[in-house]
Structure 1
């Protein structure tokens, strides 16, 4: 199981990188199109001007791609084996019946100036079951509530937040998943704001899929388990 958990963690990192780096080529392509456009429609431009425009395009593309790569930085990665609250640690289960002691979770988060991609993978959970999961403000503690509320880009002035204008998968990071026959599950979230701009400390696994309706938006039942994630390393 330990070897399987490590392999799944590597998968998490690979998926997160693939999801995030797609933003860099599109930005570079957009910059290239903006620079090439006038040159393509001006047939009276001298050879020297065409050469200069082409050179400028290449520089623009290279600069944009370099900046995008630099902004990605190192991923934030957390790997944990859930243990009982009394043992302490970074991975705690509050309900061993639904998140058994010994189950594993891995989180990888990549951030760039325009957004964040977060991947969650789990093993050893109850087979064929749907769980909710979100990024929370604080790190895990002995009480389920220690992780605090959900991270929100635009914070709801009314807490707890149950207004779908704030409690939604665009303003929060939702990682709901369903396990397969072996108790394995994963989820991917991409939001268009950088996690580095917010206080964030954990991923909490919840009892059921996250609700979206007014008055109970963002709610997913009891907090079953928590994995502390060093999101502050994205800064």
Structure 2
């Protein structure tokens, strides 16, 4: 319930004011579980325990951008995780969610060129959990999803790297949550 309140409040804050035009809101709240065709949030590794909770809210801003909020509860305490918006839905295998969503798509995939794999062209949501396994973060970019909609947020094993040749990488995919951006 607390996570839903945070998500609802975030949606109002991120759209600017209560008098602004209605914004498209993407929202998913779920518990991580083993893969099934109906699972909203999938864990592939014990570093994201089954039963841990996730909320993702994506809102179009009044200035023409997008803000994504990620809230996690029940993960391992005092641990860094990388997280990014991905192009496909979660699947039985970690790689099923495809590459990171990029506003300007790198013609070379997988993308590790900092000109494309960066937090202005992708949505990066790296977090560090507190002593109770709770974490939250947000990312705002100056673009919106168009006909190419992203479909998930993937949690990775470590914070996102930025050096050439490894930009955008964050280790193995630990979990995935479906979001209709």
What's the TM-score once normalised by structure 2's chain length?
0.93
Instruction: Give the Cα–Cα distance (whole angstroms) in 1 for the partners of residues 36 and 64 of structure 2.
Output: 40
Determine if contact 2:44/2:174 at 8 Å carries over to the other structure: yes
Instruction: Give the Cα–Cα distance (whole angstroms) in 2 for the partners of residues 197 and 16 of structure 1.
Output: 22
Correspondent of 1:7 among 2, 15, 21: 2
Secondary structure at the aligned position of 2:13 is classed as helix
Instruction: Give the Cα–Cα distance (whole angstroms) in 2 for the partners of residues 189 and 20 of structure 1.
Output: 14
Mind listing any 5+ residue stretches in structure 1 that lack a counterpart? Answer: 1-5, 25-64
Instruction: Give the Cα–Cα distance (whole angstroms) in 1 for the partners of residues 83 and 7 of structure 2.
Output: 16
Correspondent of 2:107 among 152, 157, 160: 157
Cα deviations by residue, 1:142-190 (Å, 9 ceiling, x for unpaired): 0101100000000000000000000000000000001001000011000
1:21-170 equivalence runs, <5 A: 21=16, 69-70=20-21, 72-85=22-35, 89-96=39-46, 98-112=47-61, 114-170=64-120
Partner of 2:144: 194
Mind listing any 5+ residue stretches in structure 2 that lack a counterpart? Answer: none
> RMSD in angstroms over aligned alpha carbons?
1.8
Correspondent of 2:12 among 10, 14, 17: 17
Instruction: Give the Cα–Cα distance (whole angstroms) in 2 for the partners of residues 16 and 165 of structure 1.
Output: 30
What's the TM-score once normalised by structure 1's chain length?
0.72
Instruction: Give the Cα–Cα distance (whole angstroms) in 2 for the partners of residues 87 and 160 of structure 1.
Output: 26
Cα deviations by residue, 1:27-68 (Å, 9 ceiling, x for unpaired): xxxxxxxxxxxxxxxxxxxxxxxxxxxxxxxxxxxxxx7xxx
Counterpart check, 1:176 vs 2:126: yes
Instruction: Please identify runs of 4+ aligned residues in structure 1 that moved more than 6 A.
Output: none
- The number of residues matched between the two structures is 180
Instruction: Give the Cα–Cα distance (whole angstroms) in 2 for the partners of residues 123 and 134 of structure 1.
Output: 17
Specify the structure having the higher radius of gyration (Cα). 1
**How far is 1:20 from its partner?**
3.5
Secondary structure at the aligned position of 1:80 is classed as strand
